[in-house]
Chains A and B, each alone.
Chain A
C-alpha cells in the first residue's frame, strides 16, 4: 500500500482493509431504514395517484361516493387517537434518553393501546360500509379509496406487532446497541405513519367528503 502502484507484488498485496474500525452502527442502520421508509412513501404515491385518477364522478359507476358515507368527526377521532399514539411513543423515547426503562415501556404501552383504538375505529368504519353494501368491488373509485386507506391501516397493524416485540426485547435484553437501534427505527416508522395519515385524512376523507 505504501509503495508505488507498479511495484506492488500481486501475491502479497492487501486488497481489503480488514482492520476493525468502530463506526456508528446505529446511525448506519437508521439512515438505511429511513431510505426504506422513503420507498414506502413511493408506494403511497402510487396509491394516491390511483385514487386521484379514480375519484371522478364516473369512477363510482353511479354507486356511492365518499361524500355520501364519510363522517368527518368520526375520522377526526381516529386522527387524534393516532396522533396521541405517536406522542406517547415520543414520550417513551424521551424516557429512553434518561435510561428510564419503566417510562419507556409505559410510553410504548400507551402508544400500543391508542394504536389499537385507531385500528378498531377503522375496522368498525369498514364493517359499517360493508353492511351498507359498499365493498372493494362496488366501483373503481371505491377500490382506490379502500386500498389506500387499508394499506395505511395495515402499516398500523404491523407497527402494533413491532411495538409488542420491542416491549418484550427491552424487558429481556435491556438497552443494547441492537434494541436501542430498533427503538429508533420503530420511532421513525411510527411517526411517519402520522405524516402519511395527514395526507390520507385531508386529501381522501375530507376532500372526498366535500366533492
Chain B
C-alpha cells in the first residue's frame, strides 16, 4: 500500500474520478429535484401523497450522490468509508426520529391544537415579548395561592 509516494496524482482516490460518474450524479439528482419542485408547485397531488413522492425523490437523489460523488461502494479502497457511513445512518435516523416522536407525543398530551392555533392569532401582536407574556400568568398563580 505504498502507492502515491512518488506521484500523488496516481493515488487511487484521485484515479477513481470519472467525468461520467460526476455528470450522472448531477443529472439524476437535478432531475429528481425538478420533479419534486414541479409536483409541489402544480398542487396536483394531495399533501400526504406529495410528501411520500418528494421523500422518495430525496432518497434516490441522496443515494445517487453518495454513490457517484462520494464514491461509497464495496471496493477494497473505499470499504471503510462505506462501513462508517452504514453505521452513521442509524444514528442520524434515531436522533431525528426519536426526538420528533417524543415531542409529537408531548404536544398530543399537553396541548389542544385547535385552541392553540385559534387563540394565538390575535394575541401575537398585542403581547410584547414571550417573557412579558409569562408574567401575568405567574402573578395569577401566586394570587390563587394566597
Q: Are these two chains actual partners, yes or no?
A: yes
- Quick one: which of B9, B18, B37, B95 contacts A206, CB cutoff 8 A? B37
Count residues of A near B (Cβ-Cβ below 8 Å).
Answer: 64
Count residues of B near A (Cβ-Cβ below 8 Å).
Answer: 66
In the complex, are the beta carbons of A194 and B55 less than 8 A apart? no
Q: Is A128 an interface residue (CB 8 A)?
A: no
Nearest residue (CB) in B for A99 is: B9
Query: Quick one: CB contact mask for B71-89 with A, threshold 8 Å, 1 for yes?
Result: 0000001001100110010
In the complex, are the beta carbons of B100 and A58 less than 8 A apart? no
Chain B at the A interface: SS class:
helix
- Quick one: which of B3, B30, B69, B80 contacts A90, CB cutoff 8 A? B69
**Could you count the A-B residue pairs with CB atoms below 8 Å apart for me: how many are there?**
183
**Closest-CB distance, B81 to chain A (whole angstroms):** 5
A58–B103 Cα distance when bound, in Å, is 13
**Closest-CB distance, A19 to chain B (whole angstroms):** 14
Nearest residue (CB) in A for B3 is: A24
In the complex, are the beta carbons of A195 and B26 less than 8 A apart? no
- Quick one: which of B22, B33, B51 contacts A87, CB cutoff 8 A? B22
In the complex, are the beta carbons of A38 and B85 less than 8 A apart? yes
Q: Is A135 an interface residue (CB 8 A)?
A: no
**Closest-CB distance, A80 to chain B (whole angstroms):** 6
Contacts of A154 in B (CB 8 A): none
Seed contacts A38-B84, A38-B88, A86-B22; 4 additional CB < 8 Å A-B pairs? A24-B2, A49-B96, A49-B100, A73-B37
